[in-house]
C-alpha cells in the first residue's frame, strides 16, 4: 500500500510557506533612493542636442539649481562609486538614505578629534547607550488602555458585567453559537421560478441537442397526457408515496409527475470501488443521494425505459411510461428494487471504504 | 553600526550549511537510506496501470471500447399515424370537472348581453357538424376541458345580433342583408374561434354554412388542378378540392339541403331529376370529381335562387341565408405554388375556386342574405404587401378618410403592388360594403370570466381575484385570449415555503 501522506507534496507546501518575503519589505526601502538618485543624475546625463525641441523655460534644469546633497547622501554616492564592483549591481541599498544617519555614526566615528569636541548631550548619550530609554522617547500606544478606563469608571464596569451576562445566556441557549444562527435564505425565496423544480429538471433531461423549447413543448404534451388520461389504478404492492387519492391525481399533473418520480427514486447509488478488497475485485458500496440526485436517477430510468416503447412521439412514449410507473407495471420499479437490494448487501462494505473528504 | 556588507547582498545571502537552516531544496529529499547515492526524487514516477490492452508481440495497440447498445424498436409507426396524431381533435377530457349551471350557446344566449364574459358550451348537437366543416383546429386547447365552450365577448354578442337581424327575427327591415367582413387581429386574438362561433350560430339559425377551413390547401399545390378550356386568361379548376368542399357542405348542412328541392334546370347534369333535393345535387359532385365544379355552380345557383324557374314553382321553398367562412386569407393574395404550361407561377386569383369566393366580396353576392367572414391568419402566413395596403385602405375608409384625400394610404412607389389584390379592396358601389373587423383583447371582466372557467374546471389552482386577473390580463398583452389560455392552463405550483434552518449543533 502506498503511504497515505505524500511527503513530496507536503514538503512543497512547507517550502511555499518558508519562502522569504523580503521583496515586499525591501522594495519600498530600495525604490525610494532609486527614484531619488534618478532625479539627481538626470541633469548631468542629459544631452542638449539641437534636433530636440527646447524645453519650456519653466521645465529647464540648470546645474546650479540643485543644491548640494547633504553629508550622508554625498557619502553614499561616493561609496557607491568607489565600491561599485563589490556591490553586485551598484544599487545603493543603504537604509541610511531614507532614515538619515546619526551624526556620531557617520562623522564622529571617523574623526576622533571631532569626537572629543562633541556636544555634551551626545557624549551623555554615548555613555548610556545601554539600558532603558527615557520616557520622552518611548512610543506610546495609540489607544488608551481600555481596562484602565473601565476600572476607573464604575458604571462602565457594570455595563461590562451586563454584557458578559447576556453573552453567557446566549451561550446557554445556543450552545456553540454566540448569537442566534443567521437565517439562510432558501433558493426560491429570492426570485420566482416559472416552473416547478421537478418539472424543470425533467424538462432539461428530456432535452436533446440543447433544444430546450422543444423539450418544453414535449413536457407540456406529457402533462396534458397525464391530465387527460384516466386516473391510475395503483398496484398495492407498489403504491405511490403520499399524495391525494389516485382519482384526483390527473387534475394536478405536476403533482402527479412528482409523485411518480419520487416513488421510483432510489435512495442511493452503488459505487464500485476497486482495490479495497484486494484481488482486483470491485466492491459495491452504497452512496447516499440527495433529493435532486435521487430524482435525476429516477428520471433517467424512466426515459431509458420509454425508449423501448412503440409510440410515434417521444412525449407519448414518456407519458405512457409514466402512467405505467404509476400503475406499478413499469420495469423501473424492478430496477429500483435491484438497486436497493444491492445497497443492502453492500452495507457491510461501508467500513472498508476509504474516508472521503 | 554600519556593516561592511552591501545591504542588497545581505538580502540575497543564502544559508548553505544544513544545520543552520535547511535549504528548501534539501527538505523534500527523503534520505531514509543514507547509503543510497541517488535521491529518491530522481526515481521514475510509478506508472499507472494503463487501460489499454497489453501489447503482444507484433501486434499494435488496440483500444477496446464498449459499443453502445441501441434499442431497436420493432417497427416505425405506420404510414399516416404521425399525421393522424398531429391532426387529431379531442373535444373532451373526462378528468376535468363538470361545471354546474353552464349554459349552452343558443339563439337566446347568443344575444344576451348579461352573459357577456361567461363561457357558454357549444351545443352537443352542433359538434358533429362543426367537426364536418373543420371548425376545430388542433392546439386550440379543447382537449383539456370537459366539453368545448367559448367565451361570450363583445364581438360575439354583436355577431349574434347580426345573425338575428339577417334571419329576420328582430325587425324585418334588415332581413336578407349581406354582411361582408374581413377579420384581422394579432396572433392568438381569437380569429379562428370567432369563425367557429359564427358557424355555430349559423347552424343554430339553420343557415347554410360553407367553409374553407384553410385557404392554404388550395394554393399550396397539394390538390390536382387542370386548366379550363376556352378561358382567357387561363383559369384552373381544382376538382378534388371542390369535391371536398361539397362533402363538407353536405355533411354539415344535411338537414337544410335535404329539405330543399331543385328549382332550376341545370345543363350538363344528367342524373338530376326535377324532384331531387339539393343534397342529391351535391352528391353528384363528390361521386364524380370531374363534375364537381359544375355541380358546385349549380348548387350555388340554387342557394341564391329567390324564385323558382317557370314550371318548377311547386316545390320551391325560400332559401335560408348563407354563412361563408374562409380562414387564412393571405394565402389567396399571392401567387400559388401551381405552374402554368410555360412554367410561370399561377396567380391564386386564376384558380376558379379561389376566384369564386373572392368575387363574393363585390356587389350583392348573396341573394338571400347572409354573412361573409374572411379571416386573416398570423401563423404560417405568407407576407403580402398588397393585402396589407388593401386592409389599410379599408381601415382608412372605415375611419372616414375619403379615397381621394391625401391621407388615404397608397402603395409606395416602385413597390410593385398586385393590382388584382388591390382591386378587391377598392370602394364598392353596392349598399353593403366590405368591413374590416379587428379583434383585440378581452376586457378585464371577460378575462376574469374566462379564467374562472379554468378554475371551475379544476385546471387552475389559484384564487381568481381582481388582482390576479389583472396581473394575467397584463401579462397576456391586454387580454389576448390565446395568451390568457396559456396562462390559465400553465401548470405552476406556488413556490415552496422556506424550510426553517435547523439550529447548528454545538461545535
Q: Which residues are paired to B327 by β-bridges?
A: B375
Same domain, B105 and B198: yes
B393 is a domain residue: yes
Per-residue pLDDT of B316-356, as tens digits, reads: 889 999 999 999 999 999 999 999 999 999 999 999 999 99
Per-residue pLDDT of B403-427, as tens digits, reads: 899 999 999 999 999 999 999 998 8
Q: B493, B494, B501: which to substitute to probe chain A, counting the most A Cβ within 10 Å? A: B493
Whether the predicted pLDDT of B70 surpasses 50 = yes
B13 is a domain residue: no
Question: What is the total residue count of chain A?
Answer: 357
Whether B97 and chain A come into contact, CB under 8 Å, resolves to yes
CA pair distance B424, B432, nearest whole angstrom: 14
At A170 the pLDDT is: 80
What are the phi and psi torsion angles at B149 (to 5°)? Answer: -150, 160
CA pair distance A329, A234, nearest whole angstrom: 9
Q: A1, A13, A93: which to substitute to probe chain B, counting the most B Cβ within 10 Å? A: A93
B192 is a domain residue: yes
Query: Band of the pLDDT at B56, cuts 50, 70, 90?
Result: low
B219–chain A nearest CA distance, Å? 29
Which residues of chain A does CATH 1.10.455.10 include? 197-352
Query: Band of the pLDDT at B308, cuts 50, 70, 90?
Result: confident
At B332 the pLDDT is: 96
Residue B414 structural domain: 97-439
* A 79-98 near B (Cβ less than 8 A): 83, 86-89, 91, 93-96
Please tell me which residue of chain B has the smallest CA distance to A27: B8
Could A186 and B498 be called an inter-chain contact, meaning their C-beta atoms sit closer than 8 Å? yes
Same domain, B325 and B472: no
- SS3 of residue B280 by DSSP: helix
At B475 the pLDDT is: 92
Among B439, B454, B472, the domain boundary falls at: B439
Per-residue pLDDT of B222-254, as tens digits, reads: 999 999 999 889 999 999 999 999 999 999 999
Whether B90 and chain A come into contact, CB under 8 Å, resolves to yes
B31 is a domain residue: no
Same domain, B427 and B356: yes
At A18 the pLDDT is: 45
At A9 the pLDDT is: 45
A34 contact partners, CB below 8 Å, separation of at least 6: A91, A92
What are the phi and psi torsion angles at B237 (to 5°)? Answer: -105, 145
Same domain, B270 and B314: yes
Same domain, B149 and B218: yes
B410–chain A nearest CA distance, Å? 41
Could A227 and B30 be called an inter-chain contact, meaning their C-beta atoms sit closer than 8 Å? no
> How many domains does one find in chain B?
2
CA pair distance B145, B90, nearest whole angstrom: 10
Q: What percentage of chain B reaches a pLDDT higher than 70?
A: 83
**B9, three cell numbers:** 547582498
**Which of A175, A189, A228 is facing B95, going by the closest CB pair?**
A228
Same domain, B305 and B403: yes
> Average pLDDT in the B295-303 region?
94
Which residues in chain A touch residue B461, judged by CB atoms under 8 angstroms apart? 252
CA pair distance B417, B386, nearest whole angstrom: 5
Query: Band of the pLDDT at B430, cuts 50, 70, 90?
Result: low
Q: Where are the alpha helices (DSSP H) in B304-403?
A: 352-359, 385-398
Whether the predicted pLDDT of B442 surpasses 90 = yes
Per-residue pLDDT of A215-231, as tens digits, reads: 999 999 999 999 999 99
At A20 the pLDDT is: 42
Same domain, B461 and B377: no
Same domain, B187 and B327: yes
**Which of A88, A94, A223 is facing B491, going by the closest CB pair?**
A223
Among B417, B439, B461, the domain boundary falls at: B439
At B21 the pLDDT is: 47
At A35 the pLDDT is: 42
Same domain, B423 and B468: no
Overall fold of domain A197-352? Ribosomal Protein S7 (1.10.455)
Whether A216 and chain B come into contact, CB under 8 Å, resolves to no
Distance of CA B260 to the CA centre of its chain: 35
B256 is a domain residue: yes
Per-residue pLDDT of B172-222, as tens digits, reads: 677 888 999 999 999 999 999 999 999 999 999 999 999 999 999 999 999
pLDDT along chain A (357 residues), means of 10: 46 43 39 42 47 55 64 80 58 51 63 79 74 58 51 82 87 78 69 83 96 95 94 92 90 93 96 81 91 97 93 92 96 96 91 68
Which residues in chain B touch residue A192, judged by CB atoms under 8 angstroms apart? 495
B435 is a domain residue: yes
Same domain, B413 and B449: no
Same domain, B454 and B430: no
Same domain, B399 and B456: no
Amino acid at each position: 500500500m502506498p503511504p497515505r501522506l505524500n511527503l513530496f507534496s507536503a514538503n512543497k507546501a512547507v517550502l511555499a510557506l518558508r519562502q522569504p518575503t523580503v521583496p515586499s519589505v525591501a522594495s519600498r526601502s530600495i525604490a525610494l533612493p532609486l527614484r531619488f538618485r534618478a532625479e539627481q543624475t538626470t541633469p548631468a546625463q542629459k544631452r542638449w542636442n539641437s534636433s530636440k525641441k527646447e524645453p519650456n523655460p519653466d521645465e529647464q534644469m540648470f546645474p546650479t539649481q540643485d543644491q548640494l546633497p547633504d553629508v550622508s547622501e554625498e557619502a553614499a554616492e561616493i561609496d557607491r562609486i568607489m565600491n561599485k564592483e563589490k556591490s553586485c549591481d551598484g544599487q545603493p541599498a543603504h537604509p541610511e538614505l531614507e532614515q538619515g544617519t546619526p551624526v556620531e555614526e557617520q562623522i564622529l566615528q571617523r574623526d576622533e578629534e571631532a569626537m572629543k569636541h562633541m556636544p555634551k548631550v551626545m557624549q551623555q548619550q554615548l555613555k548610556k547607550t545601554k539600558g532603558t530609554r527615557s520616557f520622552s522617547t518611548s512610543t506610546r500606544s495609540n489607544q488608551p488602555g481600555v481596562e484602565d478606563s473601565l476600572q476607573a469608571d464604575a458604571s462602565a464596569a457594570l455595563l461590562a458585567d451586563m454584557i458578559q451576562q447576556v453573552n453567557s445566556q446566549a451561550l446557554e441557549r445556543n450552545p456553540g453559537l454566540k448569537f442566534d444562527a443567521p437565517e439562510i435564505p432558501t433558493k426560491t425565496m429570492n426570485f420566482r421560478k416559472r416552473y416547478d423544480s421537478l418539472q424543470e429538471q425533467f424538462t432539461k433531461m428530456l432535452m436533446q441537442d440543447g433544444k430546450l423549447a422543444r423539450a418544453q413543448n414535449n413536457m407540456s404534451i406529457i402533462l396534458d397526457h397525464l391530465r387527460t388520461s384516466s386516473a391510475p389504478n395503483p398496484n398495492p404492492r407498489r403504491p405511490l408515496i403520499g399524495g391525494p387519492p389516485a382519482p384526483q391525481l390527473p387534475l394536478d399533473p405536476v403533482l402527479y409527475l412528482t409523485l411518480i418520480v419520487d416513488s421510483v427514486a432510489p435512495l442511493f447509488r452503488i459505487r464500485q470501488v476497486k482495490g479495497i478488497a484486494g484481488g482486483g475485485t470491485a466492491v459495491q458500496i452504497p452512496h447516499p443521494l440527495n433529493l435532486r440526485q435521487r430524482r435525476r436517477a429516477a428520471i433517467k430510468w424512466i426515459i431509458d425505459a420509454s425508449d423501448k416503447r412503440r409510440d410515434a412521439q417521444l412525449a407519448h412514449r414518456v407519458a405512457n411510461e409514466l402512467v405505467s410507473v404509476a400503475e406499478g407495471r413499469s420495469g423501473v420499479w424492478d430496477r429500483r428494487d435491484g438497486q436497493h437490494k444491492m445497497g443492502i448487501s453492500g452495507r457491510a462494505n461501508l467500513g472498508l471504504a476509504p474516508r472521503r473528504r | 553600526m554600519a556593516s561592511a556588507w552591501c545591504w542588497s547582498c545581505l538580502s540575497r545571502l543564502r544559508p548553505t550549511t544544513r544545520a543552520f537552516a535547511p535549504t528548501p531544496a534539501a527538505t523534500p529529499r527523503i534520505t531514509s537510506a543514507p547509503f543510497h547515492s541517488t535521491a529518491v526524487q530522481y526515481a521514475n514516477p510509478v506508472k499507472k496501470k494503463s487501460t489499454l490492452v497489453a501489447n503482444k508481440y507484433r501486434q499494435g495497440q488496440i483500444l477496446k471500447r464498449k459499443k453502445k447498445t441501441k434499442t431497436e424498436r420493432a417497427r416505425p409507426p405506420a404510414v399516416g399515424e404521425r399525421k393522424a396524431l398531429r391532426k387529431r381533435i379531442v373535444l373532451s377530457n373526462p378528468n376535468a370537472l363538470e361545471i354546474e349551471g353552464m349554459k349552452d350557446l343558443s339563439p337566446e344566449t347568443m344575444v344576451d348581453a348579461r352573459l357577456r364574459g361567461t363561457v357558454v358550451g357549444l351545443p352537443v348537437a352542433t359538434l358533429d357538424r362543426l367537426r364536418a366543416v373543420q371548425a376545430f383546429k388542433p392546439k386550440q386547447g379543447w382537449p383539456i376541458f370537459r366539453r368545448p365552450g367559448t367565451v361570450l365577448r363583445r364581438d360575439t354578442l354583436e355577431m349574434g345580433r347580426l345573425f338575428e337581424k339577417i334571419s329576420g327575427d328582430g325587425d324585418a327591415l334588415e332581413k336578407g342583408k349581406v354582411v361582408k367582413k374581413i377579420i384581422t387581429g394579432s396572433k392568438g386574438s381569437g380569429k379562428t374561434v370567432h369563425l367557429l362561433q359564427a358557424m355555430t350560430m349559423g347552424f343554430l339559425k339553420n343557415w347554410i354554412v360553407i367553409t374553407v377551413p384553410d385557404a392554404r390547401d388550395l394554393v399550396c399545390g397539394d390538390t390536382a388542378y387542370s386548366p379550363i378550356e376556352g378561358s382567357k386568361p387561363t383559369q384552373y379548376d381544382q376538382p378534388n378540392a371542390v369535391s371536398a368542399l361539397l362533402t363538407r357542405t353536405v355533411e354539415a348542412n344535411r338537414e337544410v339541403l335535404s329539405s330543399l328541392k331543385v328549382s332550376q334546370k341545370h345543363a350538363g347534369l344528367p342524373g338530376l331529376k326535377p324532384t331531387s333535393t339539393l343534397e342529391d345535387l351535391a352528391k353528384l359532385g363528390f361521386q364524380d370529381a370531374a363534375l364537381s365544379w359544375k355541380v358546385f355552380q349549380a348548387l350555388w345557383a340554387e342557394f341564391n335562387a329567390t324564385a323558382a324557374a317557370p314550371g318548377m314553382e311547386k316545390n320551391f321553398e325560400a332559401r335560408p341565408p348563407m354563412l361563408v367562412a374562409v380562414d387564412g386569407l393571405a394565402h389567396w393574395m399571392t401567387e400559388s405554388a401551381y405552374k402554368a404550361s410555360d412554367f410561370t407561377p399561377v396567380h391564386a386569383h386564376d384558380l376558379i375556386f379561389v376566384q369564386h369566393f373572392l368575387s363574393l366580396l363585390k356587389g350583392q353576392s348573396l341573394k338571400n342574405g347572409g354573412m361573409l367572414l374572411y379571416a386573416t391568419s398570423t401563423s404560417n402566413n405568407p407576407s403580402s404587401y398588397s393585402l396589407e395596403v388593401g386592409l389599410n385602405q379599408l381601415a382608412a375608409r372605415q375611419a372616414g378618410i375619403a379615397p381621394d384625400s391625401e391621407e388615404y394610404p397608397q402603395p409606395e412607389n416602385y413597390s410593385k403592388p398586385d393590382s388584382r389584390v388591390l382591386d378587391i379592396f377598392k370602394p364598392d358601389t353596392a349598399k353593403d360594403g366590405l368591413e374590416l373587423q379587428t379583434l383585440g383583447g378581452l376586457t378585464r371582466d371577460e378575462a376574469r370570466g374566462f379564467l374562472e372557467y379554468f378554475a371551475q374546471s379544476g385546471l387552475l389552482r389559484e384564487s381568481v381575484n381582481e388582482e390576479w386577473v389583472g396581473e394575467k390580463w397584463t401579462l397576456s398583452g391586454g387580454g389576448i385570449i390565446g395568451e390568457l389560455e396559456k396562462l390559465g392552463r400553465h401548470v405552476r405550483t406556488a413556490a415552496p415555503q422556506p424550510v426553517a434552518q435547523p439550529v447548528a449543533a454545538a461545535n
